Each structure stands twice: as C-alpha cells, then as structure tokens.
Structure 1
Amino acid sequence: MQLFPRGKWFTAIFNDEPRYTEIYVDVTTPVEFSDDVVTMIDLDLDVIKRRDGTVFIDDEDEFAEHQVKYGYPAEVIVTARQTCDWLVGAVSTEEPFLSVYKTYLDKVR
C-alpha cells in the first residue's frame, strides 16, 4: 500500500508479511496531484523499517552525489535532511506509521 501525503516531503510504502521491510519511506518533494497523475521528485534518502523493528537510512551517498550533480537548492537539501531525521523516529512512534496503515492492508488481503 502506498501513501502520498499532501504537503509533506515524503511518500511511504507499507508492506505486509512475509516482506521483511515493513515500511519504506522515500524522502521526496511534496506530491502534486492532477486528475490522474501523481508527481514528485525522489530525493534519494530512504528511511526503512524492517519487521524486526530495525530502522535505518539508505542512499545517503546518492543524496550527497545528486546535490552536486543536479544542483539541489540549499532549502531543498535542508528540508530533505530534516524530514529524513524526523522520519527515523516517526516510523516507530507516530501515525500513520504505527497502526493506521494496518487496517488498510487488512482490506486487501
């Protein structure tokens, strides 16, 4: 199940068992919605929560490389990093990462 929150700098994928990755969050620019298209820019930073509770940041090297390659503005870099740092704690302590998504996964089983 995928989450595209309005006005936030991330998108999230919630996986059911047997996937060992429970939550996979991409740090992105805020999502833009049109009639049948969802658009955002993936900023490479990923926060992953495994089913055993382990949380880690992935692709920090790509984020650093792409800052230079694509000329990310300073405010994009700062906001992406702040969002990533917040997500590291939020995926284990805040909704929609705790239980809300599970009710939706139950509907598609």
Structure 2
Amino acid sequence: MREVRVVYRKYDGRLHWHQWMRYLGEDQYGVWLGAPAGAVAQRGDEPEITMAAACAQLFPRDRWFTASFNDAPQKTLIYCDVTTPVTFGENEFTMVDLDLDVVKRRDGSFYVDDEDEFAEHQVKYAYPPDVIRAAQASCDWLATAVLTEEPFLTVYKSYLDQAR
C-alpha cells in the first residue's frame, strides 16, 4: 500500500496542513488519496488532530484546487481548497493554499469561505496578479461545479468507500 505525504503550505512557505494518506487511484479528474477515521492530521506545528471520519481527497493535475470528500458524521461533505497546482512527488504532494475555500455541507447548503483572508494575503504576501486571477477563477468555477458537476456528485463515492 503506497503512502503519500500531503503538504499544504502558505504563500510565504510556512507549513500549513499536512498528513499521510493512502493512494487510492487516478482517473480523469486527478489522483485520489484516502484516510480512514482515526487518521492523524496536523496544521503547521500545532498539536495533531485525529480525524473523526474517513475522507477521500482529490488532487487534480494542472488545476488550482484540491477537494476533500468527508464521510458521516462530518457536517462538511465537500471541502475544496483553492491552491496552486499540485506538485506530484513519488511520496509527497505539495501545493500552496491560496485561502479561498468552497464548502458544501451534508445538508446541501453551500458557501465560499475566507474571502477576507484572500484579500488580506494579496497585500501581505504580494500575490502576483496571475495568481490572484487563477485563484479567483478556480473559486468561481468551483462555486458552481460542486453543485452540478462530477466528480462532486457521485464519482467521489467509490473513493470514499475505499478510504473507509
């Protein structure tokens, strides 16, 4: 079983979320990793947290986002991070978190999160104009896609089954 370290960084290079996940496969949407309930994740050097539910995570090739699909009892069904395109290493996937998040709850509600943080960080970290445009375009696309397109409708379910 292949294990992959997932490493999100912030634009200034500091470590953000990171954890080990299991390789589940690859399809036209990207590479899928999974973690069962009880897996451990960590934000920066904060204390580790134990995940209450299994999750499958999608790492698209050449796209400006990653997506997590969470098992019950998590209230959040789909959590998309707007990021730089993933750098795929043999045993490590890395990307820069660009603050914006697109969230779909299990009850069907939906919202875009951290728009204020995105605006602040554009100034604080001097995001280049092309990064700002790409991040906003990805967020705008995700805001519709998570409600209307695959892999956000049914495709993720088989990967979540594997992650369990």
If the TM-score is normalised by the length of the shorter chain, which range does it land in?
A: over 0.9
Aligned to 2:154: 99
Equivalent pairs counted in the alignment come to 109
Aligned to 2:72: 17
Matched, 1:73 2:128: yes
Matched, 1:83 2:83: no
Structure showing the higher strand proportion among its residues:
2
Q: What amino acid is aligned across from residue 68 of structure 1 in structure 2?
A: V
SS of equivalent residue, structure 1 residue 72:
coil
Shift of residue 104 of structure 1? 1.4
Shift of residue 108 of structure 1? 3.2
Q: In the aligned structure 2, how far is the partner of 1:93 from the partner of 1:69?
A: 34
Q: CA RMSD in A?
A: 0.9
What percentage of residue pairs aligned between the two structures are identical?
A: 67
Select the structure of larger CA radius of gyration: 2
SS of equivalent residue, structure 1 residue 48:
strand
User: TM-score normalised to the size of structure 2?
Assistant: 0.65
Alignment of 1:4-83 (within 5 A): 4-83=59-138
Shift of residue 107 of structure 1? 2.5
User: TM-score normalised to the size of structure 1?
Assistant: 0.96
Shift of residue 39 of structure 1? 1.1
1:68-101 C-alpha deviation (Å, 9 max, x unpaired): 0110000110111111011011001111111011
SS of equivalent residue, structure 1 residue 67:
helix
Structure showing the higher helix proportion among its residues:
1
